[in-house]
Amino acid sequence: MRRLIVPIILAVLLASVPATAGKIGFVNAERAMELVEEGKQKFEDLRAWQAPQQAKLDNLRERVLVLREQLSRAQGSAEPEAIQTIERNELDAMRAFEDARRDYERELAEKTDAFLADIAAKIGTVGADYGKANDYDAVFLLTAQPMVYVSESADITDLVVEMYNERYPVSGR
């Protein structure tokens, strides 16, 4: 019985001593990408690129709708050859629209991935530098971890954004 008392006392003492995890910080990379000046500029550039692309898609979609309307009106009153011509034109217009839509989506994904990867890498570097300079034991990307709770004081995103903007200034802003 005496042999059990010492291990029990040790277990109780060890359980009552708080564990020290060290200094840990978190960076919300998605929010940081939206807040850094370079990210704002890249998103703005992307929107400027999208506008004419979207207009082109809208024109192609409108062409399909016009041809469908023509086909609907021609049914029963036009010659079979005229109907076939409208059907071919509608099919060609649908294919042109679908091709343009796929090209747009592919190019949009490529452009988005390219600039996000670049900014994300820089955010990681700045976050790591901040962590080293401020004696953090670990800095995690907030969105990469399934977190239940993170203290506001552990979120260093705004500090990383500030350092990022100083390190990677955007010209023309």
CATH class of the 21-167 domain in this structure? alpha beta
pLDDT for position 20: 54
Q: DSSP states of 67-120 as a string?
A: HHHHHHHHTTTS-HHHHHHHHHHHHHHHHHHHHHHHHHHHHHHHHHHHHHHHHH
pLDDT for position 22: 78
Tokens, residue 51: 């506008």
> Which H/E stretch holds residue 5?
helix 2-16
pLDDT for position 30: 86
Counted residue by residue, the chain has a size of 173
pLDDT for position 127: 92
107-159: per-residue pLDDT in tens?
999 999 998 889 989 999 999 999 999 999 999 887 756 666 777 888 899 99
pTM of this prediction exceeds 0.85 = no
24-78: per-residue pLDDT in tens?
898 988 889 999 999 999 999 999 999 999 999 999 999 999 999 999 988 888 8
Where exactly are the structural domains of the chain?
Answer: 21-167
Q: Is there a contact between 121 and 141 (Cβ–Cβ < 8 Å)?
A: no
Q: DSSP states of 112-155 as a string?
A: HHHHHHHHHHHHHHHHHHHHHHTT-SEEEEGGGS--S---GGGB
